[in-house]
Amino acid sequence: MNEIELLNWARGPGLTYATIFMVFGLTLRVIEILSLGRPKELAEVRDSGVRDGWRMVIMRSLPERRNWKRITAAYLFHVGLLIVVFFFIPHTQFFRDVFGVFWNGWPNYIIDFVTVVSIAAMLYTLAQRLFDPARRILTTIPDYLAWLVTFLPFVTGYMAFHRLGVDYTLMLALHILSVELLMIALPISKLTHAVTFAMSRWYLGSNNGRRGIHV
Amino acid sequence: MAQLNGMQLKIEVTEPATGMAKAVARELAEHLAALAEHGRSHQVDLTSLPMSSGDKQELASLLGVGEVDITLHAMGESHIYETAFSGIWWVKHYSADEQLISELIEIASIPEIIKSPAADIELAAQALNQLIEQTDSSFDTGDDT
Amino acid sequence: MSQDKQVLAGELQRHGISRRSFLKFCTSMASAMALTPAAAVEMAQKLSTIRRQSVIWLSFQECTGCTESLTRAHKPSLESLIFDFVSLDYHHTLQAASGEAAELAREQAMHENGGQYILIVDGSIPLKDGGVYSTIAGISNLDMLKDVAKDAAAIVSVGTCASFGGLPKADPNPTGAVAVADIIDDKPIINIPGCPPMPVVMSGVLAHVLTFGIPELDALGRPKAFFGDSIHDRCYRRPYYDRGEFAKSFDDEGARKGWCLYELGCKGPITHNACATIKWNNGTSFPIQSGHGCIGCSEPDFWDMGGFYKPLSTGTSNPGQWAGYALAAGAAAGLASAAVNKAAKAKADKVHQPVTIEDMGKK
Ligand code: SF4
Same domain, C146 and C257: no
pLDDT confidence of residue C167 = 95
- Rounded mean pLDDT of C349-362? 74
pLDDT tens across C275-297, in order? 988 888 777 789 999 999 999 99
For A160, residues 6+ apart whose C-beta sits below 8 A from its C-beta are A168, A171, A172, A174, A175
A40: contact with C, CB 8 A cutoff:
yes
Whether C79 and C106 map to the same domain: the answer is yes
Q: Which residues of chain B have pLDDT under 70?
A: 1-15, 48, 50, 138-145
> Which residues from C are below 8 Å from A19, CB to CB?
319, 322-323, 326
* Ligand 1: centre distance to CA C266 (Å): 6
Reported as a single tens digit per residue, the pLDDT across C136-158 is 888 999 999 999 999 999 999 99
Subunit contact B47:C31, Cβ cutoff 8 A = yes
Pocket lining: C254 vs ligand 1, CB cutoff 6 Å: no
Identify which has the larger pLDDT, C253 or B117: C253
Output the CA C234–ligand 1 centroid distance in Å. Answer: 9
User: What gap in Å lies between CA C266 and CA C313, rounded to an integer?
Assistant: 11
Residue C275 Cβ contacting ligand 1 at under 6 Å:
no
Residues 6+ apart with CB under 8 A from C76: B75, B96
For residue C33, the cross-strand partners are none
Confidence class for position C176, pLDDT limits 50, 70, 90: very high
Cβ of C91 less than 6 Å from ligand 1: no
Above 70 in pLDDT, residue C217?
yes
Phi, psi of A41 (to 5 degrees): -80, 115
Task: Give per-residue pLDDT as tens, C1-50.
Answer: 334 445 566 666 666 677 788 788 888 888 878 777 778 888 888 877 77
By the 8 A CB rule, do C79 and C207 touch? no
pTM metric for this prediction: 0.80
> Is the distance from the beta carbon of residue C260 to the nearest atom of ligand 1 less than 6 Å?
yes
- Kind and range of the H or E run holding A146: helix A141-161
Ligand 1 nearest-atom number relative to CA C267: 2
Judged against a pLDDT cut of 80, whether residue C319 lies above it is answered with no
For the ranges C205-209, C216-220, C296-300, which has the lowest average pLDDT?
A: C205-209
Phi/psi at B58 (5° precision)? -60, -45
Q: What percent of chain C has pLDDT over 70?
A: 92
Q: CB of C292 closer than 6 A to ligand 1? A: no
Given this model, what pLDDT does residue C342 score?
83
- What confidence score (pLDDT) does residue C1 get? 37
Would you say residue C74 has pLDDT above 50?
Answer: no
Contact C27 B99 (CB under 8 A): no
| Helices B20-38 and B53-63, packing angle to 10 deg | 40
Hey, which residues does C136 pair with through a beta bridge? C139
**Alpha-helical runs (H) found in chain C:** 8-14, 19-32, 37-49, 65-71, 99-112, 141-150, 159-164, 166-169, 199-211, 224-227, 231-234, 238-243, 253-257, 275-278, 319-351, 357-362
Kindly tell me if the per-residue pLDDT of C210 is higher than 90: no
Q: List the one residue out of C196, C161, C222, C201 whose CA is nearest residue C66.
A: C196
Query: In angstroms, what is the span from residue C300 Cα to ligand 1's centroid?
Result: 19
Q: Where are the domains of chain A?
A: 3-30+63-210
Residues C212 and C325 both lie in one domain: no
Q: What is the largest CA-CA distance in chain B?
A: 73
- Inspect the interface and report whether the beta carbons of B101 and C76 lie closer than 8 Å: no
CATH classification (class only), A3-30+63-210: mainly alpha
Asked whether B and A share 3 or more beta-carbon pairs under 8 angstroms, the answer is no
Q: Are residues C169 and C88 in the same domain?
A: yes
Residue C140 and residue C181 in one domain? yes
Residue C237 has pLDDT above 80, yes or no: yes
Q: Report the distance separating Cα C105 and Cα C99, nearest Å.
A: 10
Distance (Å, whole) CA C286 – CA C246: 19
| DSSP reduced 3-state for C109 | helix
Asked if residue C46 lies in contact with residue C210, where contact means CB atoms within 8 angstroms, the answer is: yes
Determine contact: A107 vs chain C, CB below 8 A. yes
In order along its 215 residues, chain A shows pLDDT tens digits of 789 999 999 999 999 999 999 999 999 999 988 888 777 777 777 777 788 888 888 877 777 666 777 778 888 899 999 999 999 999 999 999 888 888 989 999 999 999 999 999 999 999 988 998 988 899 999 999 999 999 999 999 999 999 888 889 999 999 999 999 999 999 999 999 988 888 888 888 888 888 877 77
One domain for residues C130 and C279: no
d(CA B125, CA C115): 40
- Taking CB atoms and an 8 Å limit, are C10 and B96 in contact across chains? no
Instruction: Report how far ligand 1's centroid is from the alpha carbon of A11 (Å).
Output: 19
Q: Tell me how many domains chain C contains.
A: 2
With a cut of 0.85, is the ipTM above it? no
Average pLDDT over residues C103-119: 88
What's the CATH code of the domain at C317? 4.10.480.10
| Domain-located, residue C226 | no
The 10 Å CB-count burial string (b at 16+, else e) for B82-121 is bbebebbbbbbbbbbeebebbbbbbbbeebbbbeebeebe
Q: Does C188 lie in the same domain as C56?
A: yes
- pLDDT at site A202: 85
Range of the domain at C168: 51-217+343-362
| Any domain includes C2 | no
Q: What share of chain A is helix, strand, coil (3-state, %, to 5)?
A: 80, 0, 20
CATH number at residue C206: 3.40.50.700
Return phi, psi of residue C359, to 5°.
-55, -40
Q: Are C157 and C190 in a shared domain? A: yes
pLDDT band for position C191 (cuts 50, 70, 90): very high
Residue C112 located in a structural domain: yes
